[in-house]
Structure 1
């Protein structure tokens, strides 16, 4: 691995992290953060144990497996001089992995292939070294950034803003509108092999061509939602577009920088004035209310991966916010970054903490629609056919309807045909009964890179509200057909 070439962007990221860790940090701060750093080190050790104990060969796939080489890689980068040794002084444990990687990316990819028997996980995650694929080294490097902002930074993470900024001219709710939903869109513009446009460009150009009244980003600006990344990968791109009424949400990646880039850079610009400085919001359109909630800030899971709306229900601003809205009796479209439904061992499952918190906010019921990102895929679930092995029962919505669930996290990240969404029938891949659509149209390019051979097309969703009526459409875009192609519609 010492022979791997690093891009200028990667070297710049190393410099940013080194600058943070070499700043003077008081012994008092280190002492107070010590137990948490031990906890973080233990998490990385747990991830590593999937490799050292070879349990990745016998256990069902879990997402922590994707970090099983993280401790080894970080220590290796320290030994090679790319990352400062100060990181170890702040509590990073040594790796127990004793392997020699002779400079080939294929070596690590081969290890990953043993886990999955292929390079595409059940949810579509791609295990390649290519830009933004799961083995992109910067994903491992940002773990160090996450540890600093969560456990060491004397200023801590950004305060959670509850008081909205004053508004001069109250907005009269429209009776109808088109709302574009893009999830996990914050890669910015990058060179995607020989393709002319990267996915983020294709998606935002496609959205702009449909002339929506609102655009809602479900969160994730990469790699860690830093000030510069929020500026380059979100704000500057949107400033050049003819789009209005923009909203952007918090996510696990924004939290890797303590949500500082999100609050100080993105939410401070005129682009997102409708949010009034907060990471949660509501929009009244016709007879519907769109509600965006922050599922990242209060999450206490490792790497903010599972999602949570609050830690204390009694003092939660978001619980009161959603509960008060539900009392209006109107149908609700809820939006969170984190997912309510996932996939593991080729079975759909419930993300219980977030799921239960949503129902707690709504008096034991569900919103009429729930859109999320986080999982890099586009999925339309068929609620009537959803059955969970743990016996979870789906309650009715607050308007006594069957709730609808949508994953819309496929706006820019590379992903593949997730095996958790199809089954084999007579040797042919057939979509599972529990879903009506998922993104699996193969990327078609003349000179594909290894990861592009496994990739499928990115896309977005559009809601059209007219009074009490609502129509949903999922679109896909490509370099060969940049005009948004409707793949599924509710009407």
Structure 2
């Protein structure tokens, strides 16, 4: 017997907003008419901006449709589009609409949109479609790196803020790990748009913090889609983190977390100036960067051109001063087999901690023959050149995702990384969502 839709679910049951329900909320004649009326009553927004918003509604809908169609299942998906993500957040919140929620076999509950107050709904939706002024960037108070023990373990989670699928399993694995951590680091993205409610329910409330470890979180595009208010106003205070970028250092290593999301997939001059000081003080230590956005990708078309073309930051990269860089954004786990020739960096993508990632681009790749990649289904991407940057071959994690129920074969596995600094050595491990080591190497 089918389960009937219910009232708003508890916070233990994250909400999934599908294209079908967004189309009901925004794509009907009644919805568009009321949005036009809400726009007409808005005397604070210039007419040109109003016209652009209304003209762009079709694109918002199409972006959400394409994101869902690309994976072929009713799971949590969202495009890289601020207005679309904010609209999904609004529907998921149940604000200004009579919503019911039906269970999804794959996980979470689907928001079932309905309303008898179209103008009330449209008035709230209109505000979400307008341009948001971002929260003021909060920078670190010190220009010095924080001391770090010479032996230290760091858990790295990327794109984890869904509350669904493998994300809760990863949290359990980190919490129950028998060995201590010095840091638990999130590479960013709380879905759909990092609102206060989403940050509290999908992130802070379920974050696998431990007493002996500091928690740190990097800024991301999805948190900035809602202006960054919850990231700067809730996440940073909850973690005791005084800025959206930071540095830690011991006798052999300097670890730097960057904010390359406040300006989307780019870096600002003041942060580069701060980084230059950190690198000067690092001396001959090896430097490892962490960020949300990638420097490059062997699979996706999105590249970090705005990063390597920044005069100051590009000079740092081309100096080959950076030893390794861990990023997310792309919802895969990818280990590049060597240093890229332009920047001398060992790149790693750890973006597979919570968002569903379709397998179409990786399922046909050949299995890796490298002995280090035999504990799971790792596939080899060939060496490629992207925008003038020759990239080495890359190993990408493939296989089914056992935590997306009923759709296991469509999505690649979730997991996370653990880095262990031990004197001059860095041991990197990739773990499955349940904590099994599926790749390990000492760099």
Match of 2:156 among 164, 181, 195: 181
Alpha-carbon distance in 2 for matches of 1:224, 1:317: 26
Q: Given that residues 378 and 398 in structure 2 are in contact (C-alpha distance below 8 angstroms), is that contact kept between their aligned partners in structure 1? A: no
Deviation at 1:132, TM superposition (A): 8.2
Alpha-carbon distance in 1 for matches of 2:315, 2:187: 20
SS at match of 1:29: coil
Q: Structure 2: 5+ residue runs without aligned partners?
A: 10-14, 27-34, 71-77, 98-103, 114-122, 368-376, 384-392
Tell me how many residue pairs correspond in the alignment.
368
Match of 2:257 among 292, 317, 322: 292
Aligned to 2:421: 465
Match of 1:364 among 294, 318, 328: 318
Deviation at 1:465, TM superposition (A): 1.3
Aligned to 2:398: 440
2:270 is the alignment partner of 1:317: yes
Alpha-carbon distance in 2 for matches of 1:415, 1:12: 17
Q: Which moved more, 1:36-45 or 1:353-362?
A: 36-45
Match of 2:169 among 198, 202, 219: 202
Match of 2:407 among 429, 446, 451: 451
Matches within 5 A, 1:126-141: none
Aligned to 1:231: 200
Aligned to 1:351: 304
- Give the TM-score normalised by the residue count of structure 1: 0.61
Aligned to 1:157: 134
Alpha-carbon distance in 2 for matches of 1:166, 1:248: 19
Q: Given that residues 219 and 260 in structure 2 are in contact (C-alpha distance below 8 angstroms), is that contact kept between their aligned partners in structure 1? A: yes
Deviation at 1:377, TM superposition (A): 0.8
- Give the TM-score normalised by the residue count of structure 2: 0.67
Q: Structure 1: 5+ residue runs without aligned partners?
A: 58-64, 86-127, 139-143, 191-197, 300-306, 311-315, 387-393, 397-401
Alpha-carbon distance in 2 for matches of 1:359, 1:166: 17
Label 1:36 to 1:268 Cα distance change in 2 as closer, same or farther (>3 A). Answer: farther
Q: Given that residues 248 and 254 in structure 2 are in contact (C-alpha distance below 8 angstroms), is that contact kept between their aligned partners in structure 1? A: yes
Deviation at 1:378, TM superposition (A): 0.6
SS at match of 2:426: strand
Q: CA RMSD in A?
A: 4.8
Matches within 5 A, 1:303-452: 307-310=265-268, 316-328=269-281, 329=283, 330-343=285-298, 350-357=303-310, 359-360=313-314, 362=316, 364-366=318-320, 367-383=322-338, 394-396=341-343, 402-420=344-362, 422-423=364-365, 431-434=380-383, 435-444=393-402, 449-452=405-408
Aligned to 2:247: 282
Q: Given that residues 146 and 257 in structure 1 are in contact (C-alpha distance below 8 angstroms), is that contact kept between their aligned partners in structure 2? A: no
Match of 1:30 among 45, 49, 52: 45
Alpha-carbon distance in 2 for matches of 1:374, 1:436: 17
Alpha-carbon distance in 2 for matches of 1:365, 1:227: 40
Label 1:186 to 1:7 Cα distance change in 2 as closer, same or farther (>3 A). Answer: farther
Match of 1:254 among 223, 236, 240: 223
SS at match of 1:379: strand
Q: Given that residues 130 and 136 in structure 1 are in contact (C-alpha distance below 8 angstroms), is that contact kept between their aligned partners in structure 2? A: no
Label 1:166 to 1:469 Cα distance change in 2 as closer, same or farther (>3 A). Answer: closer
Q: Deviations over 1:138-159 (max 9, x none)?
A: 9xxxxx9998468455xx2211
Deviation at 1:259, TM superposition (A): 0.6
